[in-house]
Structure formats: structure tokens, C-alpha cells
Amino acid sequence: MPFFTSQGATLHYQTWGQGLPLFFIHPPAMGAATFQEQQQLSRDYKVVLMDARGHGFSNNGKGTLSISEWALDLYHLAEELGLEKVVLCGYSSGGSVALEFALNWPERTAGVVTVGGFPEVCTTLLQREFDTGIWLSQKAWMGVLAKMLSFSNSHTTSHRQAIADTIERSHPPLIKSLYESGLHYVCTNRLPELKVPLLLIYGTRDWYVHYYQYLFYKYARQASKDVVMVGGVGHQVPTLQPNVYNAIVHRFAGVLNNRTGI
């Protein structure tokens, strides 16, 4: 298994394929196992997965994990792999990491894809989701969190088990740190700086984050934007509708590939 060092942490990553690099960024606790179904995109692109510190096979480093720290770890991974430009594909709070990367290093960003994404947490229902994660990780009830997230994010026993194993292996204080950082992260006021192509994906049943489309359209004025609604699913588009999600990302990356020539 390949590892690299970033900010004092030894982090596990995986790559498949060649071409325009797609960095898939997982939600809190779930780890790179989240994107088991996205490996098929490696037939045309370079698929890159990384376990955030305290997740999966990555160690705890200095014992903190924020959105900005995670974005910097990904930047160091791009440096480690010698990648000039990458596409950031963030799922849920992983979308905040994708936005943070794009805002800090626009010259290294080919495009951003968010699934159920938000530039800040400013609605009651979403705040309650984060509060639940903070409470469970503070109690170190990772088995409970593993059951909740693995069953809601899988169609197959093998994928469910891979996600559950990752969550149970994770470090509760770092998961709590990440949930807290995601809850308080705000980049809405920086969205006018975003100039890279932006793809927003939402499940039609993911109604408690649909409001956030408005913030992206209001503030990310310089970014070319597209919204795709995926029917028959809520928040878990990459895991419950992987073929549809992969097709959407493939099409988006194809357009970017023509622009960048990678």
C-alpha cells in the first residue's frame, strides 16, 4: 500500500489508471472505502483516493484534522504524484475540502465536483447532522456510526463491510475534530474568487441541502456552473447511484480534458 508524509502524518492513498486526475474526497469517518464503485472511472482517467488522517490506514499525525489541513494534505499528495492539475470530487463535507483546495490553489485545479455540497452550514437540519456526528465521535461510539453510515451508503455486503471497517478503525478525536471544522467552515464570502468549472450534484430526495444551490449561484459568479439532479436518491449519490454518478463525472471530466489537454 502506498503512503506519503504530509504535515507530520503518514497518509495512505491509492491510484488507478492514467489521464486527468480525479481526486475523490470522502465524508467524515467513511474513508477512501466510500469510493469503491468509482474505480471503474480509471479506464479513462487517473482515480486517486486518500484516507484522511485518522481514517482507514492513515495515522493521526499531530492529532487535529480541519478542512484546511485536509486540503493541504491533498495538495501535498498532488505534489507527491507530480500532478499539475486535478479535479476535486467531494462528497458531502468532502465538498468543503474540494472548495478549499480550489480557492487556495486555483492554478492546480481543473474543476470541482460536489455531491450534496455546501459552502457553509447555515440550515437547522444540516447542523443537526453535524451535531449527531460530533456527539457520536465524542462518545467514541464508532460502532453505532459505522452501522448508520455503512447501511445508508451501500447496496452490497462487501461495500457495507469495507465502509464499516474503515469507520471502526478511525480515531474518534480526529473524527470529532473534522465534524466540528466542517460545521464551522465558511467559504461563501470567498466564492466570488472561484473561477474554475463547478459541477453541483444533488439527489432529488436530498431536500435538506437543496437550498445551498442558491448560495453557489449567488456568490460563485465567476465560475461556470452546472447543476445535475439525480432521481430516486437522497444524499448518497456516489454510493447508491454509482453508475449515474460516474457517468456525470465522466462527462464533466471529458469536457475539462479537452480544455486542459491532459
Domains along the chain? Answer: 3-260 (3.40.50.1820)
pLDDT of residue 261: 55
Q: Are 228 and 201 in contact (CB under 8 A)?
A: yes
Q: Are 182 and 121 in contact (CB under 8 A)?
A: yes
- Rounded to 5 degrees, φ, ψ at 147 are -65, -45
The DSSP-derived string for 6-45 is ETTEEEEEEEESSSSEEEEEPPTTT-GGGGGGGGGGGGTS
The kind and range of the H/E element at 113 are strand 109-115
pLDDT tens-digit map of 171-184:
999 999 999 999 99
- Rounded to 5 degrees, φ, ψ at 157 are -65, -40
pLDDT of residue 63: 83
Q: Are 163 and 34 in contact (CB under 8 A)?
A: yes
Question: Which stretches in the chain have pLDDT values below 70?
Answer: 260-262
HSE toward the beta carbon, residue 185, CA cutoff 13 A:
28
Q: Is the dihedral of CA 150, 153, 157, 161 positive or negative?
A: negative
Q: Residue 211 contacts by C-beta under 8 Å, 6 or more apart in sequence?
A: 123
Amino acid at 180: E
From residue 228, alpha-carbon distances to 60, 136, 159, 249 in Å are 36, 32, 25, 11
pLDDT of residue 260: 59
The kind and range of the H/E element at 182 are helix 172-184
From residue 230, alpha-carbon distances to 37, 94, 241 in Å are 17, 19, 8
